[in-house]
């Protein structure tokens, strides 16, 4: 390895030296320096605030649920079985939320009375049943509206105690 002579390393122009810099200046690390520069910018502060709000609601949001767990489970159970319905793709017959079901003829008449838009297409009749292609989302509304709303004796007594009966 070639050793260079120190006499070649002489300062040529004395005006290049900055007299204001002293050895008393604090050495600032990379991250602290970067943080100081970013913190001076107003948009950085607002973006950091927004990110912190999103993180807060992601962490705390699931615990701020007002519905009772049993209601949620009932809602999720029928929603999970629905076929996908995507507005743009349903024009092409893909992901249109329809479902093929075998129904009795009298039930088909009841469905038509409730909402004629539920049944999209009717197919062959076999043994008093007909294969029907229907809108699954509207059909679920029909099913939920025809649920028998009766109380058990225990539920009735509890509602009577709470004075929630009319």
pLDDT in tens, 64-73: 877 666 666 6
129 in Cβ contact with 106 (< 8 Å): no
| Reported confidence tier of residue 22, pLDDT bands at 50, 70, 90 | low
Least confident of 42-56, 61-75, 77-91, 97-111: 61-75
Exposed/middle/buried for residue 111 (C-beta within 10 Å: 0-12, 13-18, 19+) = buried
Which pair of tokens denotes residue 105? 């003829």
Output the pLDDT for position 143.
83
Output the pLDDT for position 47.
93
Output the pLDDT for position 63.
82
């Amino acid at each position: 390895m070639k050793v260079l002579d120190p006499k070649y390393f002489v300062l040529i122009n004395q005006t290049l030296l900055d007299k204001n810099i002293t050895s008393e200046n604090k050495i600032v690390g990379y991250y602290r320096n970067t943080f100081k520069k970013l913190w001076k910018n107003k948009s950085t502060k607002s973006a950091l605030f927004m990110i912190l709000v999103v993180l807060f609601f992601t962490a705390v949001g699931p615990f701020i649920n007002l519905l009772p767990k049993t209601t949620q489970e009932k809602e999720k159970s029928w929603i999970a079985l629905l076929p996908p319905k995507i507005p743009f793709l349903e024009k092409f017959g893909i992901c249109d939320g329809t479902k093929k079901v075998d129904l009795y003829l009298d039930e088909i008449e009841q469905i038509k009375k409730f909402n004629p838009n539920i049944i999209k297409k009717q197919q062959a009749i076999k043994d008093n049943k007909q294969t029907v292609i229907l809108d699954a989302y509207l059909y679920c509304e029909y099913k939920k509206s025809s649920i028998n709303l009766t109380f058990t004796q225990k539920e009735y007594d509890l509602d009577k105690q709470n004075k929630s009966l009319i």
